[in-house]
Amino acid sequence: MLPILLVHGYSTEGKNNSVDKIYGSLPKELKARFGANQIKTLNLSRWISLSDGVMLDDVSYAMDRALKSDFKDLLESGFHVIIHSTGALVVRNWIKKFSPKPCPIQNFVHLAGANFGSGLAHIGQGQISRWKNLLFQGTGVGTRVLDELEFGCSKTLDLHAHFLTEGNDIYHDYQVKEFNIIGSQTLGMLRVVPIRYVKEDSSDNTVRTSASNLNFNYVPVTPKPKASKLTVKQLQNQVNKRLKNEKVATDLYQFDLSKLSINRPEIPFAIAFETAHFGDEIGIVGGSKNRAAVMPLVKTALMTKNSDAAYQKTVDKFKQAKAKTFERASKLKWKITEWDPQQQYEGHAQLIFRIKDQFGNGVEYFDVMLKSNSSSKKQVKLEKLIEDHHGNKQDKGVITFYMRTQKFNDDKKVFEDLMSRVAPLDIEITGYEPESKEIAFVPLNLSLTTEQIQKVMESFKTTIIDITLVRLPSEKVFAITRK
């Protein structure tokens, strides 16, 4: 067994926290599962995640410096990594910025990795959180880290998109095998807290299952040449149609479905039964009651050999574990002291729109309209599935929607996929420049069939729709005349 490096998440470090408090029973469990003699070294990393001036680039760089100065043996022999929460971004960022190809990391196990953010990030920056941390932990709130954990952080989206570019595939080029494990349960004491992000369905009280899953869909949307060649009159005609809620031209933009998750190696993804982000009883790292749900998956991941066949076998095992979780969840009984137990497991999806102009600037003022084309009551309108939306505070032009994509059928005792009945859809996006009448954006209208929507939007996954919206100046902005 190769050495194992443990990397914790945001808010784990405090002024006086011990290693035992940071990693709980996980080190002991690993030794019990594999035998102390089988694990060459168990490396327990520390990073000060609550210092306001520290950002993820700093942490990844510090990780690189530590490896090269004191742990060259890891870089030479290779090692496994197990992360919790924000540790996913730290290590993925290290791979992107500092790792050679192939990477010395062989098996990379995510325990509730916060790959696509957490709803607690923007709440954590509030004044109450700041005073709590100062009084009880002697720290800041980790402002810079929280910025990169906020839903739709552009820098974080770019981090994951990096591994979709040619020559940077994390499995084929870096030769890293990743594994996703997360729970879908909150703690009973949090159900009375008036913050939706600590008790969302399909979430572990901190990270959404869809925000953890690295099998994400990426859809770039780019303008066709004719969009940039519109005359002022033609553009104004399109803008007026949009303002009148009329359908604008559908031949001005194009989308690319080649970067959907179905077109690349599947990353093993499992949802552990009765598991939360933290907690002494059902926390994913050190919970006392859920070790039988978590540790066999960790062991399977760490023991996966370097071959396509072995990796696919683990994909299948994780799918079986996930299916077993939902079989058990379907049998949970309602209690007067709890809410509907099946709702907590109903699948959700994240849909992120990132809108920039052709110069790479975020479009600050915009609207997004999802308009299903159906009058049938049997079909599901995608816009009716939205339960939450969040506009990123730091990066303009980014909005994240959270949608319920499954519904538990109490009669049949099964979780039904609402996306199987989704109606065709138009996505309409308009940008605005309130400071000038001489600037207008070419409105976008994407028409998606039912089959296309089903490929783009899936339960337990994040979909990023990356849009380049054409910004056009009028003829008054710059004119050339010949005398």
Q: Tens digits of per-residue pLDDT, 147-205? A: 999 999 999 999 999 999 999 999 999 999 999 999 999 988 888 888 899 999 999 99
- Residue 404 domain boundaries: 217-260+346-473
Tokens 């729109």: give the residue. Answer: 353
Longest dimension (CA), the chain: 88
Domain of 115, CATH number, reads 3.40.50.1820
Q: Flag whether 164 is in a domain.
A: yes
Confidence of residue 365 (pLDDT cuts 50, 70, 90): very high
pLDDT of residue 369: 95
Cβ atoms of 293 and 274 within 8 Å: the answer is yes
Per the structure, how many domains does the chain have?
2
Kindly state whether residues 312 and 438 are assigned to the same domain.
no
Domain boundary among 303, 329, 355: 329
Q: Flag whether 170 is in a domain.
A: yes
Kindly state whether residues 243 and 278 are assigned to the same domain.
no
**More confident position, 232 or 209:** 209
Q: Flag whether 232 is in a domain.
A: yes
Kindly state whether residues 145 and 127 are assigned to the same domain.
yes
Q: Give, as one character, the DSSP assignment of residue 247.
A: P
Q: Flag whether 284 is in a domain.
A: yes
Kindly state whether residues 377 and 316 are assigned to the same domain.
no
Kindly state whether residues 234 and 202 are assigned to the same domain.
no
Q: Look over the chain and give the mean of its residue pLDDT values, rounded to a whole number.
A: 91
**More confident position, 126 or 271:** 271
- Encoded amino acid at 308, one letter: D
In DSSP notation, 312-381 reads HHHHHHHHHHHHHHHHHHTTPPP-TTS--TTGGGS-EEEEEEEEEETTS-B-SEEEEEEEE----TTSBP
Kindly state whether residues 225 and 91 are assigned to the same domain.
no
Rounded to 5 degrees, φ, ψ at 121 are -65, -50
Q: Flag whether 254 is in a domain.
A: yes
Percent of the chain with pLDDT over 70: 95
Kindly state whether residues 295 and 384 are assigned to the same domain.
no
Averaged pLDDT for residues 31-48: 80
* Chain Cα centroid distance, residue 27: 27
Kindly state whether residues 297 and 191 are assigned to the same domain.
yes
Kindly state whether residues 63 and 106 are assigned to the same domain.
yes
pLDDT of residue 336: 65
HSE-up of residue 54 (Cα within 13 Å, Cβ side): 18
**Global pTM exceeds 0.75:** yes
- Encoded amino acid at 79, one letter: F
Confidence of residue 14 (pLDDT cuts 50, 70, 90): low
- Long-range Cβ contacts of 189-192 (<8 Å, 24+ apart): 191/338, 191/339
Q: What confidence tens digit (pLDDT) does each residue in 331-348 have?
A: 998 876 667 889 999 999
Range in 23-32, 256-265, 452-461 the model is least confident about: 23-32
Q: Flag whether 32 is in a domain.
A: yes
Domain boundary among 282, 298, 329: 329
Kindly state whether residues 145 and 9 are assigned to the same domain.
yes
Token digits of residue 299: 């062991």
Confidence of residue 48 (pLDDT cuts 50, 70, 90): confident
Q: What confidence tens digit (pLDDT) does each residue in 419-430 have?
A: 999 999 999 999
Q: What confidence tens digit (pLDDT) does each residue in 434-482 have?
A: 999 999 999 999 999 999 999 999 999 999 999 999 999 998 999 898 9
Q: What confidence tens digit (pLDDT) does each residue in 215-231 have?
A: 999 999 999 999 999 98
Kindly state whether residues 277 and 254 are assigned to the same domain.
no
Kindly state whether residues 37 and 75 are assigned to the same domain.
yes
For helices 291-302 and 26-34, the axis angle rounded to 10 degrees is 60
